[in-house]
Amino acid sequence: MVATALGVMLGVLVAIQAPKPSLDDWHWLDQFREAAFDRFMPVGDRPLVTYRSFRDLYQDVQEGYFTIGYGEGTGFDKDRLVATVVVPTGESIQQQLLQLHMKNRAASFDSLIGLVSVRRYTLNAQKCSAVRIRLDALSKVTISLPARDTFSLHPVLHRVVIDFGGTRVDATIEKDDNPLVRWATETASALLACAIDAH
């Protein structure tokens, strides 16, 4: 009981002493957020599909990311698909970057970004059947548009880029119940489960 009370008191003390980000710190994060995402979770490499998510104005929520594409040198062999999954190690990319900046506000973005920690997994369809199964499921997804008057307050932003079958779609969607977002989040979970099993 005493140990529990002491632990609670220490937690409160640490929370009180933890420095709060200043307005300038938030502006700095706003300035470099997209560059940080592009470093670890790029969407411009043109695989078959890319998914990236983050919570608007909540830097402490972990980001999500995966790509599915043809393996290098495999042509258009549907059985040689490769997926990449990126997961922040511990805290979100944004939170890590903000904390690093607050420790050394004079440091450049380029010097800090290398200190951000993520785990990157590469999966092939031969060892992870979810790669092909989830890509096949994408062709059955109906892309729906929301009503004009819908509004979300600080939602998770889901960006899905599709580039196959003569079609390129680059959509950022706020609604978690959108069919394309459901496909993407279910795919992210399936691929991450494969990655954890393999490692």
| Residue 50 lies inside a defined structural domain of this protein | yes
Q: Is the pLDDT of residue 32 over 90?
A: yes
Q: Is the pLDDT of residue 29 over 70?
A: yes
Count: domains in the chain: 1
Q: What percent of the chain has pLDDT over 90?
A: 68
pLDDT in tens, 177-193: 999 999 999 999 999 99
The pair of structure tokens assigned to 119 is 């785990």
Q: Report the alpha-carbon distance of residue 81 to residue 126 in Å, rounded.
A: 8
Residue range 112-130: mean pLDDT, rounded:
95
Q: Report the alpha-carbon distance of residue 140 to residue 156 in Å, rounded.
A: 24
Q: Report the alpha-carbon distance of residue 134 to residue 68 in Å, rounded.
A: 9
Q: Is the pLDDT of residue 99 over 60?
A: yes
| Residue 52 lies inside a defined structural domain of this protein | yes
| Residue 9 lies inside a defined structural domain of this protein | no
Q: What percent of the chain has pLDDT over 70?
A: 87
Measured in whole angstroms, the distance separating CA 197 from the mean position of its chain's CA atoms is 20
DSSP sequence for 64-114: EEEEEEEPTT-TT-TTSEEEEEEEESSS-HHHHHHHHHHH-TTS-HHHHHT
| Residue 5 lies inside a defined structural domain of this protein | no
The pair of structure tokens assigned to 164 is 């196959």
Q: 3-17, 83-97, 155-169: which range is least confident on average?
A: 3-17
| Residue 156 lies inside a defined structural domain of this protein | yes
Residue range 124-144: mean pLDDT, rounded:
92
Cα–Cα–Cα angle for 195, 143, 162, nearest 5°? 50
| Residue 170 lies inside a defined structural domain of this protein | yes
Q: What residues contact residue 17 under an 8 Å CB cut-off, 6+ apart?
A: none
| Residue 193 lies inside a defined structural domain of this protein | yes
Domain that holds residue 74: 21-198
Among all chains, which residue has been given the structure tokens 């790509």? 67
Position 106 scores a pLDDT of 96
Among all chains, which residue has been given the structure tokens 């140990």? 3
Position 9 scores a pLDDT of 52
Using alpha carbons, select from 79, 166, 164, 175 the residue that is nearest to residue 129. Answer: 79
Position 79 scores a pLDDT of 76
Position 30 scores a pLDDT of 94
Position 49 scores a pLDDT of 96
| Residue 2 lies inside a defined structural domain of this protein | no
pLDDT in tens, 59-77: 889 999 999 999 887 667 7
